[in-house]
Amino acid sequence: MGETCQEGHEALTIGPSPRPIPQRQPPAAANPKRRRAASRFVEHMEGGVGGGGTDMNAVPDGVVQHVLSMLSNVRDVAACACVCRRWRECVPYLPALFFPRNAFDTAAAAGGAADDAIGRMVRSVERLRELVIYCPFSMTRLPEWLALRSASLRVLELRMDAGSADKAGDGGYLDCIDLARGLEELRLWGVSLTAAPAWGRLDKLRVLEIVGAPLEDSAVKDAIAACPNLTDLSLLGCDCSGAVSIELALLERCRLDFLGAGNCSLSLVAPHVESLEVQGFTWITLRGGHSLRRLSIAKSTGRVYKVDTGKLPDLEHLSLRGVQWSWAAVSSVLQCARDVKHLVMKIEFSGDFDALQPFPEVDLVDFFNSHPNLRKFDIHGAMFAALCQKNSLKNLDARFCIPCLEEVLITVRSPLNAEQKLNTLESLVKYSARLRSMVIRISQMKNCHDAADDFFEEICKFKYMNNKKVRVE
């Protein structure tokens, strides 16, 4: 049963303790030290003079307001408002309100009491800057709450799946966000963005995050066009097929995680982007990647046919993952990232069609000469096998040197071509002047014949000969 607080104000009903939200911590938990300090202060004040605490009347108003402003969870706010009138009078100065997933019991949520309580609390906090609602609520009440605090609201996060019964088929329930024209951060969970929302222009919006949404490419384009000054864009766990086109002049960080095995293309124009993580696209075109420092491209199902990024002179971290990539796409990215410092290659197969093909032969000398600044190399089966072909070491000579390589992680799944693999491992150790660590990970080796045992024995000998640098997992 919920707890009720009523001292001259309308009742606020708060339900059982909330379960933690795994994806993102609430604002009050963003700084645990601050929250613990506020809790200790509350306990100290509740002790009073007789209980060994300090008389709360001796604490200046500014100190009380500052400590209570660290709270945002509505359960904590309601509890503090019940202590005394002085503490209740601090509620209007709270900067944030967080309604956890189970803030209200089921009966309160179904009967509309939860909406009334949210409205009362939003109305009571006069300088509200951050509003986070994870609990079920009625979408028809959202315009009222946004209108009340449109002047001060800067951060808005909503779990829209809680109000699925109220959703309009055309996505018009998102239009009311236009009331909060001063928003700087907007995070929406479980929306349906199949039609462009009527947001006008949100010129102050810097952060946009949408999680778990069915999308239409035209709606995405129009929604992003309404936020021309974004620096952070995240579309995570979204379902879309077609062509996604994004053009943002100030974008610095971008995460695009699209589901499904269908073919989806991405065209991104972002001259100031520094970090880009994309998942689920078949064709990728990037314009303006001169400032890019971190690039991650993955596709867990289907194929990656083409990646066109242009030169990436400042790239430090590159991660390529997936089941099947066109070798032309792999080669294009590697050529554009000649100065990369950390390279992760976890692609299983090559090939432009349904047939899965191994990687073509890669010359070890040419590869490291093309990437002279490489310091950390995480290499998975197919790419390692490509460096272990018959002619991969044909250009080795005494003058060759891998100048910067310090750490290598190699995953081996097959004992085939064991002699060439051992030669490649020995070459990496011999010619890497600054090598500090080589980890050889034997994973899911399917060959159970003598060849596997012999290969593993040779690996152990190699580790013994280089025990200060090599480790086997």
Nearest to 303 by CA among 338, 355, 230: 355
Gap between the terminal Cα atoms of the chain: 53
- Tell me: the pLDDT tens digits for 447-466? 556 777 888 889 999 999 99
Residue 324: exposure state from Cβ atoms within 10 A (0-12, 13-18, ≥19): buried
Q: Is 8's pLDDT higher than 80? A: no
Confidence label for 251 from pLDDT (cuts 50, 70 and 90): very high
Q: Is 88's pLDDT higher than 90? A: no
Please check whether residue 119 is in contact with residue 10, taking contact to mean a CB–CB distance below 8 angstroms. Answer: no
For residue 376, give Cα distances in angstroms to 78, 344, 460.
51, 8, 23
Whether residue 209 is contained in a domain is answered as: no
Q: Is 2's pLDDT higher than 60? A: no
Axis-axis angle for helices 450-465, 418-431 (nearest 10): 10
Whether residue 54 is contained in a domain is answered as: no
Determine the pLDDT at residue 3: 41
Q: Which domain holds residue 78?
A: 60-131
Cα 193 versus chain centre, distance? 20
pTM of the predicted model as reported, rounded to 2 decimal places: 0.83
Choosing from 112, 131, 150, the residue where a domain stops is: 131
Nearest to 349 by CA among 368, 321, 376: 321
**pLDDT top residue among 331 and 62:** 331
Angle at 389 between CA 466 and CA 408, to 5 degrees: 35
Whether residue 29 is contained in a domain is answered as: no
C-alpha 375/C-alpha 377 separation (Å) is 7
- Tell me: the pLDDT tens digits for 362-397? 999 999 999 999 999 999 878 888 998 888 888 888
C-alpha 248/C-alpha 404 separation (Å) is 35
- Tell me: the pLDDT tens digits for 204-241? 999 999 998 888 888 888 999 999 999 999 999 988 87
Whether residue 118 is contained in a domain is answered as: yes
Determine the pLDDT at residue 67: 79
Q: Specify the length of the chain in residues.
A: 473
Residue 433's CB is within 10 A of a number of other CB atoms, namely: 11
Whether residue 374 is contained in a domain is answered as: yes
C-alpha 118/C-alpha 120 separation (Å) is 6
| Overall domain count for the chain | 2
Whether residue 171 is contained in a domain is answered as: no
Whether residue 144 is contained in a domain is answered as: no
- Tell me: the pLDDT tens digits for 263-277? 889 999 999 999 999
- Tell me: the pLDDT tens digits for 296-315? 999 988 889 999 999 999 99
Choosing from 131, 155, 176, the residue where a domain stops is: 131
Whether residue 445 is contained in a domain is answered as: yes
For residue 459, give Cα distances in angstroms to 379, 429, 431, 434.
17, 13, 19, 22
Choosing from 131, 146, 161, the residue where a domain stops is: 131
Q: Do the bridges between strand 317-325 and strand 294-304 make them parallel or antiparallel, or are there none, so unpaired?
A: parallel
